[in-house]
Each structure stands twice: as structure tokens, then as C-alpha cells.
């Protein structure tokens, strides 16, 4: 159990939120030139790191807004919360793996 | 291998049980092996066993970071069933169920496989229609499955409150499904593999791969480099971590899946009962504990612990169906890290690296697959092509789009 600071509502319990998986996945363009391999990467393949994970969350049972967080997948410690229109924070991605 | 039998128990009992042989050796790793299996869970041990037993490949090492039975193979809820929707899944899991049926004899260890029946409940007419469709599919796959009325369910499992907040509208049962003792399954495969010459090396962490020109040649471990002609990754939740070491990504998400047991009581539950709608499943172990489980915590996690709100929702769902247990105390609660694939079906076979094989993506239901997984992966590794039963579960399906979207595997039954 952890608490997340929604950028719009403040700190709330984990179960008010849902995780939307890995953040910052760019859709390959243009669609007609994207290979099957690249589509598979885009749709299904994920980093799934043991360590820091940049991920999307939605405050489903609150303001319903989407935002990003940086969270450690072992300690569940949240290092940063930032809005979708903000650049990812500068953290060492390989830290404490 | 010291054969287990009744006279043997008597013999050792008279000598104070002081002279039993260890079930397997604890050798130091050799410099090289024909096959190196990473991961000493049920799947890895079964693969090593079938490599030795069916293919005569005995120069095999099983590398385990912790101890045998300490990971997911000791954290699951022991359910075996083959009530899957798609023919691909049904064929594979039916093969597995049949191997469970003969496992105690094959491995000379009592795995206590109790085919008490796996019951799936419906709580509305719509639920019932979906279960009827599911049952039809199971029957078309040639597997036993039977629709039950609420009254029949009440007779079979008297403690279910069929007039609960979400009343029981009916259900279906696979009578050949059931539970077994997971420790015995792990130990049984470890002991039988060891007897055939397989080296089981515990407390050995893999830290990297030696790969030359796109072909794996061995692994780097905490006990030094070990070369292997073929290397097999079968490490459940940590598959992505090892794949990254080997230089590729996988369509997996690791999550914590919880289970819990109550204090032991007299035998009161007859079946394994599953409710997808209220999200819980329950059975009673031979030790008398009520074994409960529910969904995973749905975010990436490598922490072997779960959220308390998940415990609460699981227990609440259980008590709506079985109000009689409201004063029972929970004794233990734990979590295992499961690797969930996009279509909830396993990923088995070759990888982008030559001679490196994977067996992963079992998500919330790997226990029931242990024997068939070992059998088919051993065949795949020896012949360097997917066994017929696991062809549909290759990594390539995410490119071709031929997914096996098996919601039955993603349900709450394990």
C-alpha cells in the first residue's frame, strides 16, 4: 500500500488510482510504413524494469486526470510525480536495481 | 535415489528417522553443461527432469537464486484444471492435467493430487450464459465440464450461502480438477532429476550471459562462469530482467499476486470454488487451512508483498459467500511476482538469441502447467523447434497477431 500525490488533488490512497503502464511510448509513424516488428514493440513489448519505472496513472476515483510518476518497482517508493505536459524528471534510471 | 515406500518408512521409523538420504545432492557447478536451466521452480525442475528422462540429456544444471520451492512454486494455491476456452490452451492444459494424474507414480513421491473438482460460480443470468458458453467450449475441446443448478451447488458445498448479496445463479464444475501439494511437486521433480544426474545448484544468481555472434555460450553467475550449449530461462516474474541481460525485451509486466491462508480447521470445504464476478477463489488444504486468493495488484512490482486493500477485498468477497467463516483468523498472507503477458497466455520457445530459450508469461496460472511445460520445453530445447503443443504460444505471435486471448487463464482461478 502506498499513497500517491495527485498533481491536482494532493495525496490519496493507492486504491483511488489505476496504473496505465509504461509512460513515454511514442506511436511509430507513418502507420503504413511501420513494420510488424515495430508495431509489436509499440503495442506489446515493455521495459518492465526491476528498479525505476516511468509510468502513467489515472486518479480514477478522484479527478479522473492522467499524469506520470517515477516509482521504484521493489520499494514502491515514488520519486517524482509530473503532469503529462511536463518533461520527465532527470533521475538516474539504473539507480538501485 | 532412495525409493519411497511403506516398508521404507517403517524401516526408518524404527531407526528414529535419522538415516534418510537427502532428496538431492548439492554439487558445485561444473565448468560446462549441455543445457543450463535458469530457475529452480517447478517449471525449471520439470524441464530438467524430462530432458534427462525422455531425451537422455543428463549433463544439465538447474541454477536457482534462492532455494527450491522458495519462489512462486511455493507461493501458488495449488490448483490444477484444464477448463480453458480455446483449443490451443485446452490441449496443453489437458496434457498437464493428465501428467498430474500419474505424477505420484512417475516421481515416486506422494503429491497428494486430490481431484475434488473445480467449481466456477455465476451470480446473474448473464454470468450463467457466459459460463454455459465456456462449458460448451470446454466440452467441444473434449474435456469434462458440467453445468450445475444453485441447489446442486448447495448440496455439493453446503457452506456456500447461495442467497448471498450476489446470489448464486448456478455454475459449472470440472470434476477432474483439484489441488495437490506444491512442495511435493517441486521436491519430486528435483529428486527425480537429481537421480538422473542433473545438478541442482541453489544460491546461485545469474548476473549475465555470454553471447557471441548472436548465439549464447553460457552464463555468468555468482559462482563464476558456467558455459552451456543451450540455455533456458524459466524464472517467472524476473524474466524481463534476464532478457534485458541477454539484450532483448519481452511483452511482459511483472506484478504481485497475493494469496493467504486461515488457521487450520477440520475438513469443511469439498471443492475448489471460484467466483470471477465477486473476485475470489477458495479451497481447503489437506492441513485444514482455508486457502484464499484474488487478483493481482495491477501495477509493475518486484516486491514480494501485496497491498492490504487487496487482502480486504478478497476476504470481503469470501465472506459474502461463506459468512460462516467470519470469525476465522488469517494465519499467513504472501505474494509472488507473476509475469503477465498481453493475452494472458504463456510465451514459450525460442528467443532472438540462438540457443537461448524462454518459458514465461504464465501470469497467475503457472502451477497447473508444470509437468506439460517441462515436457514440451525439454522437447523444444533438444530439437530446437517448438513442440506441437506450444507452437501457438511462441514469441512471434505478438508480431503475427495470432494471440491466444484466454480470459479463462486471466480469471481468478489458479
Q: What percent of chain A has pLDDT over 90?
A: 91
Classify B410 as helix, strand or coil: helix
CA distance B396 to chain A (A): 9
Mean pLDDT value across residues A24-51: 96
Dist CA B410 CA B341 (whole Å):
10
Tell me what pLDDT residue B80 has. Answer: 96
Give the other-Cβ count within 10 Å of B365's Cβ. Answer: 26
Identity of the residue in B250, B300, B309 whose CB atom sits nearest the CB atom of A73: B300
Identity of the residue in B249, B299, B342 whose CB atom sits nearest the CB atom of A19: B299
Q: What percent of chain A has pLDDT over 70?
A: 95
Dist CA B218 CA B205 (whole Å):
14
Q: Is B168 left (phi over 0), alpha (psi -120 to 50) or beta?
A: beta
Tell me what pLDDT residue B173 has. Answer: 97
CA distance A22 to chain B (A): 9
Q: Residue B96 corresponds to which cell in the numbers above? A: 498437464
Helix, strand, coil shares of chain A, percent, nearest 5, are: 15, 35, 50
CA distance B164 to chain A (A): 26
Tell me what pLDDT residue B317 has. Answer: 93
Tell me what pLDDT residue A95 has. Answer: 55
**What residues in chain B have per-residue pLDDT under 70?**
408-414
Which residues of A are less than 8 Å from B299 in CB distance? Answer: 19, 55, 71
Mutant choice from B300, B340, B396 vs A, greatest count of A C-beta within 10 A: B300
Helix, strand, coil shares of chain B, percent, nearest 5, are: 35, 25, 40
Q: Which residues pair with B260 in a beta bridge?
A: B292, B333
Asked if B308 lies within 8 A of A46 by C-beta distance, the reply is no
Q: Check if the beta carbon of residue B334 is closer than 8 Å to that of residue B304.
A: yes
Tell me what pLDDT residue B414 has. Answer: 43
> For chain B, what are the domain ranges?
26-79+182-250+343-400, 106-177+254-340
From chain A, which residues contact B within 8 Å (Cβ)? 1, 13-15, 18-19, 21, 36-37, 39-41, 43-50, 53, 55, 71, 73-76
B330 backbone dihedrals φ, ψ, rounded to 5°: -80, 135
Q: What is the DSSP string of B118-158?
A: EEEEE-SHHHHHHHHHHHHHHHHTT---EEE-HHHHHHHST
Tell me what pLDDT residue A64 has. Answer: 97
Which residues of A are less than 8 Å from B339 in CB distance? Answer: 48
Residue B88: in which H helix or E strand, if any? helix B87-101
Q: Which residues pair with A11 in a beta bridge?
A: A5
CATH 3.30.9.10 assigned to domain B106-177+254-340? The reply is: yes
Q: Residue A23 corresponds to which cell in the numbers above? A: 509512460
pLDDT tens-digit readout, B195-204: 999 999 999 9
Which residues of B are less than 8 Å from A18 in CB distance? Answer: 298
Identity of the residue in A15, A46, A55 whose CB atom sits nearest the CB atom of B252: A46
Which residues of B are less than 8 Å from A46 in CB distance? Answer: 240, 249-253
Asked if B307 lies within 8 A of A44 by C-beta distance, the reply is no
Residue B61: in which H helix or E strand, if any? strand B60-63
What CATH homologous superfamily does B26-79+182-250+343-400 map to? FAD/NAD(P)-binding domain (3.50.50.60)
Which strands, in side-by-side order, build the sheet including A66-72? A18-22, A52-58, A66-72, A78-82
Q: Which residues pair with B211 in a beta bridge?
A: B216
Q: What is the pLDDT confidence band of residue A93, given thresholds at 50, 70 and 90? A: low
User: Measured on CA atoms in the order B301, B307, B309, B311, is the torsion positive or negative?
Assistant: positive
Q: Residue A81 corresponds to which cell in the numbers above? A: 510525480
Which residues of A are less than 8 Å from B251 in CB distance? Answer: 40, 44-46
Which residues 6+ apart lie within 8 Å of B80 measured at CB?
B96, B97, B100, B113, B177, B178, B179, B180, B367, B368
CA distance B299 to chain A (A): 6
Identity of the residue in B301, B308, B400 whose CB atom sits nearest the CB atom of A76: B301
Asked if A21 lies within 8 A of B308 by C-beta distance, the reply is no
Helix axes B182-195, B370-383, angle to 10 degrees: 30
Asked if A19 lies within 8 A of B241 by C-beta distance, the reply is no
- Number of helices (H) and strands (E), helices first, in chain A? 1, 6
Identity of the residue in A40, A46, A73 whose CB atom sits nearest the CB atom of B301: A73
Burial class of residue B111 in the structure, from the number of CB atoms within 10 Å of its CB (0-12 exposed, 13-18 middle, 19+ buried):
buried
Asked if B303 lies within 8 A of A74 by C-beta distance, the reply is yes
A–B interface: beta-carbon pairs under 8 A: 73
Which residues of B are less than 8 Å from A19 in CB distance? Answer: 298-300
Count of alpha carbons within 13 angstroms of residue A34, beta-carbon side: 15
CA distance A92 to chain B (A): 17
Tell me what pLDDT residue B412 has. Answer: 45
Whether cis (ω within 30° of 0) applies to the bond prior to B382 is no
ipTM above 0.90, yes or no: yes
Amino acid at each position: 500500500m502506498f499513497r500517491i500525490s495527485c498533481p491536482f488533488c494532493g495525496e490519496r490512497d493507492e486504491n483511488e488510482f489505476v496504473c496505465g503502464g509504461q509512460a513515454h511510448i511514442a506511436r511509430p509513424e507513418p502507420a503504413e510504413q511501420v513494420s510488424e516488428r515495430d508495431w509489436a514493440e509499440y503495442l506489446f513489448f515493455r521495459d518492465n524494469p526491476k528498479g525505476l519505472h516511468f509510468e502513467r496513472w489515472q486518479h480514477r476515483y478522484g479527478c479522473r486526470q492522467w499524469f506520470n510518476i517515477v516509482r521504484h518497482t521493489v520499494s514502491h517508493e515514488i520519486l517524482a510525480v509530473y503532469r503529462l505536459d511536463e518533461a520527465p524528471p532527470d533521475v538516474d534510471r539504473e539507480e538501485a536495481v | 535415489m532412495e525409493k519411497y515406500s511403506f516398508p521404507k518408512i517403517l524401516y526408518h521409523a524404527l531407526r528414529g528417522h535419522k538415516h534418510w538420504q537427502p532428496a538431492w545432492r548439492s554439487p558445485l557447478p561444473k565448468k560446462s553443461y549441455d543445457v543450463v536451466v535458469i530457475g529452480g521452480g517447478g517449471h525449471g525442475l520439470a524441464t530438467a527432469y524430462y530432458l534427462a528422462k525422455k531425451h537422455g540429456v543428463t549433463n544439465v544444471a538447474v541454477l536457482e537464486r534462492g532455494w527450491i520451492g522458495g519462489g512462486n512454486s511455493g507461493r501458488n494455491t495449488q490448483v490444477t484444471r484444464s477448463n480453458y476456452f480455446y483449443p490451443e490452451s485446452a490441449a496443453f492444459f489437458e496434457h498437464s492435467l493428465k501428467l498430474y494424474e500419474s505424477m505420484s507414480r512417475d516421481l515416486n513421491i506422494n503429491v497428494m493430487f486430490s481431484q475434488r473438482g473445480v467449481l466456477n460460480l455465476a451470480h446473474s443470468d448473464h454470468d450463467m450464459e457466459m459460463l454455459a458458453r465456456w462449458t460448451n467450449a470446454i466440452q467441444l475441446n473434449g474435456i469434462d465440464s458440467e453445468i450445475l443448478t444453485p441447489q446442486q451447488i448447495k448440496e455439493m458445498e453446503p457452506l456456500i450461502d447461495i442467497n448471498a448479496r450476489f446470489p448464486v445463479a448456478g455454475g459449472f464444475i470440472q470434476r477432474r480438477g483439484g489441488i495437490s501439494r506444491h512442495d511435493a511437486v517441486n521436491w519430486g521433480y528435483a529428486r527425480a532429476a537429481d537421480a538422473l544426474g542433473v545438478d541442482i545448484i541453489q544460491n546461485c544468481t545469474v548476473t549475465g550471459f555470454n553471447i557471441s555472434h548472436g548465439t549464447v555460450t553460457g552464463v555468468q553467475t555468482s559462482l563464476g562462469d558456467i558455459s552451456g550449449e543451450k540455455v533456458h530461462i524459466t524464472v517467472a516474474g524476473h524474466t524481463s530482467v534476464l532478457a534485458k541481460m541477454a539484450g532483448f525485451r519481452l511483452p511482459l509486466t511483472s506484478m504481485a499476486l497475493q494469496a493467504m491462508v486461515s488457521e487450520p480447521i477440520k475438513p469443511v470445504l469439498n471443492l475448489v470454488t471460484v467466483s470471477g464476478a465477486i473476485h475470489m477463489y477458495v479451497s481447503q488444504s489437506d492441513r485444514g487451512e482455508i486457502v484464499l486468493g484474488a487478483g493481482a495488484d495491477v501495477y509493475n512490482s518486484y516486491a514480494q508483498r501485496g497491498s492490504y486493500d487487496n487482502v480486504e477485498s478478497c476476504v470481503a468477497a469470501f465472506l459474502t459467500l461463506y459468512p460462516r467463516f467470519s470469525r476465522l483468523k488469517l494465519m499467513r498472507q504472501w505474494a509472488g511476482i507473476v509475469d503477465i503477458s498481453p493475452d494472458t497466455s504463456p510465451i514459450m520457445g525460442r528467443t532472438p538469441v540462438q540457443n537461448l530459450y524462454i518459458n514465461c508469461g504464465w501470469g497467475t496460472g503457472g502451477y497447473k502447467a508444470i509437468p506439460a511445460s517441462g515436457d514440451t520445453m525439454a522437447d523444444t530445447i533438444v530439437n530446437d523447434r517448438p513442440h506441437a503443443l506450444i507452437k501457438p504460444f511462441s514469441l512471434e505471435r505478438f508480431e503475427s497477431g495470432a494471440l491466444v486471448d484466454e480470459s479463462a487463464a486471466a480469471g481468478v482461478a489458479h
